[in-house]
Amino acid sequence: MAEFSVPTHGTICWHELASRDLEAAKAFYKEMFGWELAKSKVSPVAYDEIHIGGRAVGGMMAIDESWGPEPPPSNWTAYIAVENADETAEAIKANGGTVNHGPFDAPGVGRIVLCADPCGAHFALIQFAAA
């Protein structure tokens, strides 16, 4: 089992790939970098965790029809750990950023917010669920 500990507030803590061709992406990253992929034991949806050196550092998921009629292109998202997702979402808006989706609960994981900074760069917040 991969090691994971809840990171401190403000830490870039997780990297997630959403792909229109998940199988091709998994093959590419495994071949290029030797990443180990394992089905998540936490997520209720199909989700592959990226394990490097016995540590969970990110995940991969498919972009499918559930993303709506105009899904985004394949993309990477960096997650930043926060102590309170709702308060941080409000602070992002007050400081010129945008909240694109959320806050919402990801069962077994925590509270997530999809955001953009004032220049339009996308990122996500995560308030991890209490262990």
Q: Give the pairing type, strands 48-52 and 55-62.
A: antiparallel
Residue type, 15: H
Q: For residue 76, what are its two tokens?
A: 């990477």
What is the percent of the chain with per-residue pLDDT over 90, rounded to a whole number?
Answer: 76
d(CA 87, CA 5): 22
* pLDDT reported for residue 3: 59
pLDDT above 70 for 30:
yes
Which tens digits make up the pLDDT trace of 86-129?
999 999 999 999 999 999 998 888 999 999 999 999 999 999 98
How many C-beta neighbours within 10 Å does residue 84 have?
14
Taking residues 23-50, report their average pLDDT: 91
* pLDDT reported for residue 71: 92
pLDDT above 80 for 9:
yes
* pLDDT reported for residue 10: 94
Which tens digits make up the pLDDT trace of 62-77?
999 988 999 999 999 9
Domain borders along the chain are: 12-128
How many C-beta neighbours within 10 Å does residue 24 have?
11
Peptide bond into 118 cis (omega under 30): no
Fold (CATH) for 12-128: 2,3-Dihydroxybiphenyl 1,2-Dioxygenase; domain 1 (3.10.180)
41 against 4, higher pLDDT:
41
**Mean pLDDT across the chain:** 92
Determine whether 68 is exposed, middle or buried from the number of CB atoms within 10 Å of its CB (0-12, 13-18, 19+): exposed
Taking residues 12-28, report their average pLDDT: 96
Q: For residue 58, what are its two tokens?
A: 């990110």
Characterise 54 by phi-psi region: left (phi > 0), alpha (psi -120 to 50), beta (else). Answer: left
